[in-house]
Amino acid sequence: MTTASAEPKGIARLQMEEEQLISESLLKRALRRLWHDRLTMTAIGVIAILAILSIGAPFISEQILNTDYSRVDMAATFLKPGEQGHILGTDDLGRDHLARLLWGGQVSLGIGFTAAILSITIGVSIGIFTGYYGGIVDDLIMWFITTINSIPSLFLLLIFAALFDPGPLGLILVLGFLGWTGTTRLVRGETFSLREREFVISARAAGATDLRIMFVHILPNLISIVVVTLAIDIGVLILVESGLSYLGLGVPPPTPSWGNMLTDSQSFINRAPHLVILPGLLITITVLCLYVIGDGIRDAFDPTIVD
């Protein structure tokens, strides 16, 4: 902190404040737009309700439903909704369908959310890093990404699924570690252009460390990309989870997930349609809402769209 550097730093601060002012007003405008976007707000509401119900699954099933997702009752199989106090009926082993749907939601949403966070964290970190430094590091990482992307993703998915322990945690790791390359490419491109912007240059002139520039100055400008990717990725991952269940590679029982509930009840479509329809409907609605949210946020942040 010598006086010699005081002046440039002052100028830099001024410019930074200006930039921040702009991004702040952008954020404000985006939020205001979101608030007025009824479709997106409804979707956010639906997801919030589903999330709360899923998180509350242990409490709801124990305290309110007085049951457990794995409590087998062979005297009460295939009950219809409403029978014997089972609000949504029971499945082929007499387990409460509502409790299983709630727990299944916890697992499916949990996997989607955590894996998406994981892959975006990896993707954004590497993307900023390689975009900011460029050069040989960038070449190497891009080569690695091209290599990974050239291997059929199905193969990677199957092999990784075999390498990790089965179960939700393994699936999170597999999906998280496989999905980051797209985000990296996106973030890298954005960082390329951001690092030439004035507020970055002046921050650098003011002596800010690279890390500080990357995470304090560049990262906030990527927020819309991150949020949009996050919303869409969660949706995609929930679908991937159900697809893997169909191939027999999803979350293994006894843990319920929407995907394995849908797959396992397939053959009961004539006997107990509610077992099939509900998980399918929940998956569809959830993914639908996440896509809508993704779109809505993208529009809200889009500077080319005028109010």
Q: Does 66 bind other proteins (CB under 8 A)?
A: no
The distance of closest approach from Cβ of residue 187 to other proteins in the complex, given in angstroms and rounded to an integer, is 19
Q: Judge contact between 275 and 118, C-beta under 8 A.
A: no
Residues 213 to 242 in contact with other proteins, rule: CB under 8 A = 235, 239, 242
Choices 10-18, 161-169, 181-189, 223-231 (CB under 8 A): range interacting with other proteins:
161-169
Q: Does 77 bind other proteins (CB under 8 A)?
A: yes
Choices 175-183, 199-207, 210-218, 257-265 (CB under 8 A): range interacting with other proteins:
257-265
Q: Does 4 bind other proteins (CB under 8 A)?
A: no
Q: Does 270 bind other proteins (CB under 8 A)?
A: yes
How many amino acids of this chain bind other proteins (CB under 8 A)?
58
| Cis status, amide bond into 254, omega within 30 of 0 | yes
Among 111, 91, 112, CA closest to 276: 91
Q: Does 156 bind other proteins (CB under 8 A)?
A: yes
Q: Judge contact between 61 and 54, C-beta under 8 A.
A: no
CA pseudo-torsion sign 24, 26, 28, 31: negative
Q: Does 150 bind other proteins (CB under 8 A)?
A: yes
Rounded distance, CA 261 to CA 263, Å?
A: 6
CB proximity list for 166: less than 8 A, separation 6 or greater: 251, 252
Question: Residues, the chain, total?
Answer: 307
Q: Does 46 bind other proteins (CB under 8 A)?
A: no
State the residue for tokens 């091209």.
146
Q: Judge contact between 106 and 99, C-beta under 8 A.
A: no
Binding residues for other proteins, rule: CB under 8 A, are 70-72, 74, 77, 92-94, 143-144, 146-147, 149-152, 154-156, 158-163, 166-167, 235, 239, 242-243, 246-249, 252-254, 259, 262-264, 266-271, 280, 283-288, 291-292, 304
